A and B are shown apart, each in its own frame.
Chain A
Amino acid sequence: MYIEAKGLVKQYGKRMILNNIDVSIQAHEIIAIIGPNGAGKSTMLEMLIGLQKPSSGTIWHWDTAYKGKIGVQLQAVPFFPGLSAMENLLLFASFYKKSISKEEAMKCLRICGIHDAAHTEAAKLSGGQQKRLAIAVAIIHEPTLLFLDEPTAALDPRNRQDIHNLMLELQQQGKTIVFTSHDMDEVHQLATRVLVIDQGKIIAAGEPAELCNKYDAASLTQLYMKLTREDECYA
């Protein structure tokens, strides 16, 4: 097991963002966190990776030096202006105290399907290329656990499919992946386990097929519609 969180609560004043969350992350899983906007997905993700502290509850990590062993792709693209994709990758590798050669960086860019744009300024890459570069940054230090926050948001179907293939390839290489998404087809295609979160609570968890059976839903989209509220949460 990589992470185990028990009784996680996050509260800002009277506003409850996360309410008594229990979650564990096992090796080699691809976990999808789904739920309406503002349901608490990103807050939960940020707590699991240690960016936010819970108001109460405990989070256990498999390694005290876990921060250097996880890879994270955030929704915003954190690339340095003026630097090429390759230069950004080398810089981020140095933050992990990892000295890599240009050949190794190019190999990582090739894995992510962005080697053709290695010398293009990161800010000038297309949306799909930037997402791929963000994933390259997340895996450059060979982490065992990957957190991807909406990795395919706003991408066209081809780019989306490429990133799906990349995620499956990374799982086959032994990596564990946790991702958030609003695309139920994507979740169905990739996830080995789904966490449905709404109003700060996990309202359902399990394998996609198992959940659909349990709630008598023909698809994950139908399941999502059944379980979540109509209005968006602005917690």
Chain B
Amino acid sequence: MLKVQMRSMLVTSLRDKITLFYSLLLPIVLMFGLAIFFDNPEQQLHIICGVTAISTVFWGMQGIAFQVHWQRSRGVYKLLMLTPMPLMQFIAVMIVARTVIGVAMNWSIWLIGMLSFGMKLTAWSIGLTQLIIMIGTICFTSIGFVIANAARNEAQINMLSNLLQMPMIFMSSAFYSLDGAPAWVAFIGKLLPFEHYTNLISTMQSAGSSISILSLIVLVLYIMIAILIASITFRWDTNQLMLKSSTA
């Protein structure tokens, strides 16, 4: 049974062409565009890691938010409530499937970038990058679930995603140094998960570097908080919180 569900979730995610465009094609184009423009190897490495991180955010946050909203509005969760299968099991299968694809996709983006621009690859960086991408995907997917619960429609998903993504990306050192930025910008950036995620991907590219435990803790904390909020605010019906004003 789980095999059928996992396969179906993988297929439905892989056939979502729009999300694949934003999470795979666009980051690759962006990466090549930027990396060709900045021909400094150090800067190129920065760009590869930054683009990989952005792809994770798009796939994790917006991808899951739209998927959950769609399923909820079409009555999938209503039907699931009438089956012996626990709803949370279905959601767990969905997250695992999306994480598997997310890791494969983002790791491919990173690998394409590293190989194309002649970056040094080590077994350490190849393996650890996969692990960090997995943690990042789970983190942003969990936040995407919170967005899906808070939003009432597709427009609100876009709005809320942008509200979170834009400050996360612009207040991070993914593409440029924040050394010259006001202190409060760097401070807020460090409170957000994206900065720590890009930090983890970037630092592990240097030989002999150790993982930033603080960044890892921040991501895990975000995962725990987001899952907690998502489970508290989860709605299986679009009108669940609006029942007081709904029609019969």
Residues of A whose CB lies within 8 Å of any CB of B are 10, 12-13, 17-18, 38-43, 49-51, 65, 67-68, 70, 72, 74-83, 87, 90-97, 99, 137, 200, 233-235
Choose among A78, A81, A96, A235 the residue that contacts B85 (Cβ–Cβ < 8 A): A96
Q: Which residues of B contact A78 (CB under 8 A)?
A: 71, 74-76, 78-79
The answer to whether A72 and B8 touch across the interface, beta carbons within 8 angstroms, is no
The answer to whether A91 and B74 touch across the interface, beta carbons within 8 angstroms, is no
Q: What 0/1 pattern do residues 1 to 18 of B give for CB contact below 8 A with A?
A: 110110010011111100
- Quick one: given A42-B248, A90-B8, A94-B5, are A79 and B84 in contact (CB under 8 Å)? no
The answer to whether B75 and A94 touch across the interface, beta carbons within 8 angstroms, is no
Q: Which of B73, B79, B85 has the most CB of A within 10 A?
A: B79
- Quick one: given A74-B79, A234-B247, are A83 and B84 in contact (CB under 8 Å)? no
* Secondary structure dominating the interface of B: helix
Distance in Å from the Cβ of A81 to the closest Cβ of chain B?
6
Apart from A80-B71, A95-B84, A97-B85, list 11 A-B contacts with CB within 8 A. A13-B244, A43-B248, A65-B84, A78-B78, A80-B12, A83-B11, A83-B15, A87-B8, A92-B83, A99-B4, A235-B247
The answer to whether B244 and A81 touch across the interface, beta carbons within 8 angstroms, is no
The answer to whether B79 and A91 touch across the interface, beta carbons within 8 angstroms, is no
- Quick one: given A68-B83, A81-B16, are A94 and B11 in contact (CB under 8 Å)? no
The answer to whether A90 and B247 touch across the interface, beta carbons within 8 angstroms, is no
28 contacts between A and B (CB under 8 A): A12-B243, A12-B246, A39-B248, A43-B248, A50-B81, A51-B78, A51-B237, A67-B84, A72-B82, A76-B75, A77-B74, A77-B75, A78-B79, A80-B8, A80-B12, A81-B16, A82-B12, A82-B15, A83-B11, A87-B8, A90-B8, A91-B4, A91-B8, A94-B4, A95-B5, A95-B90, A97-B83, A235-B247
In the bound complex, what is the Cα–Cα distance between A233 and B248 (angstroms)?
Answer: 9
Q: What 0/1 pattern do residues 223 to 248 of B give for CB contact below 8 A with A?
A: 00000000000000100000111111
The answer to whether B76 and A80 touch across the interface, beta carbons within 8 angstroms, is yes
Q: Which of A82, A93, A97 has the most CB of B within 10 A?
A: A82
* Secondary structure dominating the interface of A: loop
> B119 contacts the other chain (Cβ, under 8 Å)?
no
> B175 contacts the other chain (Cβ, under 8 Å)?
no
Distance in Å from the Cβ of B244 to the closest Cβ of chain A?
5
Interface residues on B, range: 20 to 34
The answer to whether B83 and A95 touch across the interface, beta carbons within 8 angstroms, is yes
The answer to whether A51 and B243 touch across the interface, beta carbons within 8 angstroms, is no
> B191 contacts the other chain (Cβ, under 8 Å)?
no
Choose among B71, B79, B247 the residue that contacts A72 (Cβ–Cβ < 8 A): B79
Q: Which of A72, A82, A94, A234 has the most CB of B within 10 A?
A: A94
Q: Which residues of A contact B243 (CB under 8 A)?
A: 12
Q: Which residues of B contact A40 (CB under 8 A)?
A: 248
Q: Which residues of A contact B121 (CB under 8 A)?
A: none
In the bound complex, what is the Cα–Cα distance between A82 and B246 (angstroms)?
Answer: 31
Distance in Å from the Cβ of B153 to the closest Cβ of chain A?
15
Q: Which residues of B contact A17 (CB under 8 A)?
A: 248
- Quick one: given A81-B15, A83-B8, are A96 and B83 in contact (CB under 8 Å)? yes
Q: Which residues of A contact B82 (CB under 8 A)?
A: 49-51, 67, 70, 72
Distance in Å from the Cβ of B68 to the closest Cβ of chain A?
13
The answer to whether B74 and A79 touch across the interface, beta carbons within 8 angstroms, is yes
Distance in Å from the Cβ of A87 to the closest Cβ of chain B?
6
Distance in Å from the Cβ of B18 to the closest Cβ of chain A?
10
Q: Which residues of B contact A92 (CB under 8 A)?
A: 79, 83
The answer to whether B85 and A95 touch across the interface, beta carbons within 8 angstroms, is yes
In the bound complex, what is the Cα–Cα distance between A64 and B162 (angstroms)?
Answer: 46
Choose among A80, A95, A137, A200 the residue that contacts B248 (Cβ–Cβ < 8 A): A200
Q: Which residues of B contact A77 (CB under 8 A)?
A: 74-75
Q: Find the B residue at minimum CB distance from A67.
A: B82
9 closest cross-chain pairs (CB), A and B: A82-B15, A43-B248, A95-B83, A76-B75, A94-B4, A40-B248, A91-B8, A17-B248, A94-B1
Q: Which residues of B contact A235 (CB under 8 A)?
A: 247-248
The answer to whether B76 and A99 touch across the interface, beta carbons within 8 angstroms, is no
Q: Find the B residue at minimum CB distance from A44.
A: B248
